[in-house]
Amino acid sequence: MSKFNYRAVPKITICVPLFERDKGRGNKKIQFLELLYIFLGLGILFFSSCDKITGPYVEEQNQNAVDTVKCPVPDFTPYSSPIRKILLEDFTGHKCVNCPAAHDIATDLKNTYGDQLVILAIHAGFFAKTDNDKYTYDFNTDAGAELNTYFQTNDVFPTGMINRIETNSSYLITKDNWAATVDTLVNKTPTAYIQMVNDFDTTERRLCTHVNTEFLSSLNGTYHLCVFIIEDSIVATQENYVNSVATDVEDYVHYHVLRDAINGTWGDTVATGAITTGYAKTLSYTYTVNDAWEAQHCSIIAFVYNDATKEILQVEQEKIIE
């Protein structure tokens, strides 16, 4: 059952008098009076001068029937000096010989911007296909395939998206333009703030993820929260140029690999309509981490985006084991 916790919500109680019904013709009159009192009470509920909720207030919801005993919802501390973080989504594949050059660019950007840049490697399409020879490792995910199709990469890799900003009817940005695009965004004032707490049970491999999203300015529209799990340090074959020769590099280390979309490719609605500054919502999830994944190398990426434009407002990343 969903759990809600609201601040500054007025409490209204309606009292309707009870009548002992008489037998005979007077019964209809009393029934009429009962109905009249009920309608008057409803009128008081909807039209009386009560407090108007304009925020800030906080709502908590437990998604997919989260057991709050095993996964208690934490208290989130107020933010101090939030910064805008950027999400770089790198469409890639282990059979894409030009993709390691894009991986290097993403790594250089990460070294430059640190925690302000979050990288998500999406293996999908033609270059992510497996075979029975050297490319047996399957990086594909349903979410990755859906994103690859929706954003119309046409398997022209490497390519990427930065905060899913659309320019000239396309969200895709070539690797050589990633640095310039990131640079234009990092100093912009954030319009949302995300806090995340992960709790991982190593025995049951149960992950509890709690994500609190707070809006820092007044907005209109529908905004969704996506929660993805990624894994680093996967050693598997990657085609790459070695001394200008296309080579199957069998000990290539893959980073930021999308493993799954915990709450679906497009996430859950976190706010809709007229959103006031200070509105916050906490969403909680439980997830069983695949036995084949190295939990110490897994992280959660959570981001909030505008459903109409797909532009990402804010992103956060936390390891599942600190």
Burial bucket for residue 80 (CB in 10 Å: 0-12, 13-18, 19+):
exposed
Which alpha helices (H) appear in the chain, and where do they start and end?
A: 26-47, 99-113, 142-150, 178-185
Q: Which of 158, 25, 185, 43 is nearest to 104 (CA)?
A: 158
Query: For 64, which DSSP code?
Result: G
What's residue 66's pLDDT?
79
From CA 162, how far away is CA 172, in angstroms rounded? Answer: 8
For the chain, domains (ranges, CATH) are: 1-52 (no CATH), 58-319 (2.60.40.10)
Average pLDDT over residues 256-265: 98
Q: What is the pLDDT of residues 192-227, one digit of tens each?
A: 999 999 999 999 999 999 999 999 999 999 999 999
* Rounded-to-integer distance, Cα 56 and Cα 218, Å: 11
**Distance spanning both ends of the chain, measured CA to CA:** 30
pLDDT given at position 3: 35
Q: Please check the confidence at residue 156 and state whether its pLDDT lies above 80.
A: yes
Instruction: Give the model's pLDDT for residue 64.
Output: 56
Closest CA to 148 of 123, 120, 176: 123
13 vs 266, more confident: 266
Q: Which two tokens stand for residue 266?
A: 């497009």
The per-residue pLDDT for 77 is: 85
Which is more confident, 41 or 190?
Answer: 190
pLDDT at position 70 is 87
Measured CA to CA, the distance from residue 253 to residue 137 in angstroms comes to 13
Provide the pLDDT confidence category of residue 69 given band limits of 50, 70 and 90.
confident
pLDDT of residue 25 exceeding 70? no
- Asked whether residue 75 carries a pLDDT value surpassing 70, the answer given is yes
User: Percent of the chain scored above 70 by pLDDT?
Assistant: 80
The model's pLDDT over 174-188, given as tens digits with 9 standing for 90+, comes to 999 999 999 999 999
